[in-house]
Amino acid sequence: MKVIKFEFFFCNLFMCHQMAMKKEAQEKQKAEQRRRAQAVSDIPIIWILGGPGCGKGTQCAKIVEKYGFTHLSSGDLLRDEVASGSEKGRELQKIMTSGGLVPNAEVLGLLNAAVIRAKGTSKGFLIDGYPREKSQGIAFEAQIAPADLALYFDCSEETMLKRILARAAAATVKRADDNEATIRSRLHTFKCNTSDILELYNEKTLTINAERDVEIIFMEVVEAIDCMLQKKERAAKVC
Ligand code: AP5
C-alpha cells in the first residue's frame, strides 16, 4: 500500500513539474512574440488595399521611391513561391488562376518571414494586397504588429478591368491570372470581402479616388503618409 502511495506521489510530482515546464515555455514564447511585435511596431506599417488593377503596385513603387519603405506584395510573394516550382507553388497557382483567395496561413507565413528578414534595416513596411478578408487583418495585427494606416484605392470595376487588360496586352510575360475570366472572378472575390474590412478598420483607413491621374493620386498618398509619420513621431516622444 505504501509503495503505491509513494509511486502516486512521485507520479503527481512529475506531472506538476512537466506542467510547470510547459507553462514556462509558453510564457517565454508569448514574451518573445511581444518583443518581436514591439520591435516591428516602432516601424510604420501601411496596408495597401483595393481591387485588382486599381493601381496598388503603381502607387507602392512611388512610395518606395520617396520614403524608401520595404514593399511586400502578397501577390508577388505568392508568385515567387509558384515560380519555385514546388508542390505548394502548384497548389497556389491553381487558386490564383481561379481568382480565389489563397489560405491565409500561406500568405501570412510569407509576409511574416519577409517582415522578419527586413525589420532590422527597414524604414517602414508597405503591405500590398493584404488584408483581403477581415480575418486576415485580425491575424496580421495579432501575429506581426498593428498597422498604422490603410490606404484604400477606390476604383470602378470597369476601370480596373480595362487597366489589367491593357497591362496584359503590353506585357512581354503575361500573368496567368490576367485574362478576362479570371479578372472577373478576382473582382467578384474583392467585392465580397471589402466592405467588411473597410468597416472594421474605418478609423485607420483613408479612401482615395483611384480613377484619377497617377500623380494626383500620389499627392494624396503623400499627405496621408506624412500625417501618419508625424503622429507616430509625436507618440514616440510621449512614450
Ligand atoms: P495581386 O498580385 O495582389 O493582384 P491584384 O490585387 O489583383 O492586383 P494587381 O497586381 O493586378 O493590380 P494593382 O492594383 O497592383 O494595379 P497596378 O498598379 O499593377 O494578387 C494576385 C492573386 O494572389 C489574388 O487574386 C489571390 O489569388 C492571391 N492573393 C494575393 N494576396 C492575397 C491575400 N492577401 N490573401 C489571399 N490570396 C491573395 O496597375 C494596373 C495597371 O493599371 C498598370 O498597367 C498600371 O500602369 C495602370 N495604372 C495604375 N494606376 C493608374 C492610374 N491612376 N491611371 C491609369 N492607369 C493606371
Residue 11 has pLDDT above 70, yes or no: no
Ligand 1, atom 27, lies closest to the CA of: 96
Rounded to the nearest angstrom, the distance between the alpha carbon of 216 and the centre of ligand 1 is: 19
- Start-end of H helices in 50-207: 56-67, 74-83, 87-98, 104-118, 134-143, 157-170, 180-200
Residue 236's pLDDT is: 86
Do the beta carbons of residue 18 and residue 156 sit within 8 Å?
A: no
Rounded to the nearest angstrom, the distance between the alpha carbon of 51 and the centre of ligand 1 is: 7
Count CB-CB contacts under 10 A for residue 44. 21
Mutate to test the pocket of ligand 1, among 48, 56, 94 (most ligand atoms within 8 A of CB): 56
Q: How many residues can be counted in the chain?
A: 239
More confident residue, 161 or 34: 161
Give all domains of the chain, ordered by start, each with its CATH number: 43-238 (3.40.50.300)
pTM of the model: 0.87
Type of residue at 114: A
Rounded to the nearest angstrom, the distance between the alpha carbon of 52 and the centre of ligand 1 is: 4
Do the beta carbons of residue 197 and residue 137 sit within 8 Å?
A: yes
Do the beta carbons of residue 44 and residue 115 sit within 8 Å?
A: no
Do the beta carbons of residue 187 and residue 52 sit within 8 Å?
A: yes
Do the beta carbons of residue 75 and residue 81 sit within 8 Å?
A: no
Residue 17's pLDDT is: 80
Residue 73 has pLDDT above 80, yes or no: yes
Residue 6's pLDDT is: 58
Cα–Cα distance between 110 and 65 in angstroms, integer?
24
The per-residue b/e assignment along 175-189, b for 16 or more CB within 10 angstroms, e otherwise, is: eebbeeebbebbbeb
Q: Which of 63, 23, 59 is nearest to 155 (CA)?
A: 59
- CA neighbours within 13 Å on the CB side: how many for 128? 23
Q: Which residues pair with 71 in a beta bridge?
A: 126
Ligand 1, closest atom to CA 175? 11
Do the beta carbons of residue 187 and residue 161 sit within 8 Å?
A: yes
Residue 39's pLDDT is: 57
Ligand 1, atom 49, lies closest to the CA of: 55
Q: What's the average model confidence in pLDDT over 54-83?
A: 98
Q: Which of 128, 127, 129, 122 is nearest to 143 (CA)?
A: 127
Residue 36 has pLDDT above 60, yes or no: no
Helix (H, G, I), strand (E, B) or coil at 144: coil
Q: Write the pLDDT tens digit of every residue in 18-35.
A: 888 888 887 877 766 655
Residue 238's pLDDT is: 78
Q: Write the pLDDT tens digit of every residue in 106-117.
A: 999 999 999 999
More confident residue, 237 or 54: 54
Q: Write the pLDDT tens digit of every residue in 196-234.
A: 999 999 999 999 999 999 999 999 999 999 999 999 998
